[in-house]
Amino acid sequence: MSEAEVKAVAIIPARGGSKGVPGKNVARVGGVPLVARAVRAALAAPSIDAVYVSTDDADIAAAARGAGAEIIDRPAAIAGDTATSESALLHALDVLVSQGVEPRALAFLQATSPFIDAAALDTAVRDVLGGTYDSMFSAYETYAFLWAHGDAGAVGVNHDHSFRPRRQDREPHYQETGAFYVMDVAGFRERGFRFFGRVGIAEVAQSSGVEIDDLHELALARALAPILDVAGPIDVDALVMDFDGVHTDDTVTVDQHGVESVTVSRSDGMGIGLLRAAGLPMLILSKERNPVVAARAAKLGVEVLHAVDDKAPALREWCEAAGLDLARVAYVGNDVNDVPALEIVGWPVVVPDAHPAAARAARVTLTRPSGAGALRELAELILAARERG
């Protein structure tokens, strides 16, 4: 990309070392590595022309590249515990200059903020490019009473503790989220720090302010993802499905002769048929060796692998044989034995009543019940992506 084409870039510093959460920048929230979530947020801001991830870690680089970012190799000298984000940003800008890219505005995103508001980011970039502000940061409005320890006990920081005004009678303060900062590049190079000149606040919702520095915050983010993430079309090259609890409602009827039968949905069958007609490769990956599974797969015209105890290796092998990129594959499951497979695909999907461990690994949680429309819903989301082009 030439200099003339670039007005604003996003740079995401993401080093490999993390003591609080090992492998933090590739930990999955909503089924997506954190660094990939940041890349996608930047790509969703139309005012950003290119997205770069500065890293010293191969796994982070792979996840970022898969999400659409370009990679800048981060030297070890500025990748340690004491290295500042500013040092990584300045190094990245120098690398870009050596490639003939000299942006006017820089968006600095932190992968440890999983719910970056792309619309607010876009507005901030436009405000800096337009000269309204020299630097901006994301923050949410708060009316919290802040306190500090004093010599004679606690003292009010942003209020007189002897007077307790109503919320509507107080001016709000703004709490920095750490999700993103936007800077005029020339001013940042001169000052070497993210705040300078006329500083603006990019207001975001408090729910987007989650930062991940420890395992409890990671668990919180994973719990929030199904609520805060908006499911859209699912753009994939293949679909792999568990059987029990996905094609069925996870119940079985046994007659007096010990013969098992299950109930399946005609609607789900129609959805699978539409995907087959669209030429989408599909596989049923089942732990059980059951004639019911084989019969259903045959009726649907879908390949099946039986008696698979460890689904992740089987899934990898099938994708490699078919020349499929796991990042472009959807896997839909419902139970703990599906988790390893959910964790290696780009689109991990679960049904509404999935086991909590499976739900935490999911990028998409369907709304229709298993065995009663869940696969039809998934088919519609996949077809929507294909129709969108």
Model pLDDT for residues 157-192, shown as the tens digit of each residue: 888 877 888 878 788 899 999 999 999 999 999 999
Banded model confidence at residue 3, pLDDT cuts 50, 70, 90: very low
Banded model confidence at residue 26, pLDDT cuts 50, 70, 90: very high
User: 8 pLDDT exceeds 80?
Assistant: yes
Banded model confidence at residue 146, pLDDT cuts 50, 70, 90: confident
Q: Average pLDDT of the chain?
A: 91
pTM: 0.84
Banded model confidence at residue 259, pLDDT cuts 50, 70, 90: low
Q: Does domain 3-228 have CATH number 3.90.550.10?
A: yes
Predicted confidence (pLDDT) per residue in 314-363, tens digit: 999 999 999 999 999 999 999 999 999 999 999 999 999 999 999 999 99
Residue 2: predicted pLDDT: 46
Q: Which CATH class is domain 238-388?
A: alpha beta
**Comparing 275 with 309, which gets the higher pLDDT?**
275
What share of the chain in percent tops pLDDT 70? Answer: 96
Give the mean pLDDT of 135-149. Answer: 93
Task: Work out whether the CA dihedral 98, 100, 106, 110 comes out positive or negative.
Answer: negative
Residue 309: predicted pLDDT: 81
Give the mean pLDDT of 210-239. Answer: 91
User: 237 pLDDT exceeds 90?
Assistant: yes
Residue 163: predicted pLDDT: 80
Residue 388: predicted pLDDT: 80
Q: Where are the domains of the chain?
A: 3-228, 238-388
User: 289 pLDDT exceeds 80?
Assistant: no
Give the mean pLDDT of 17-33. Answer: 88
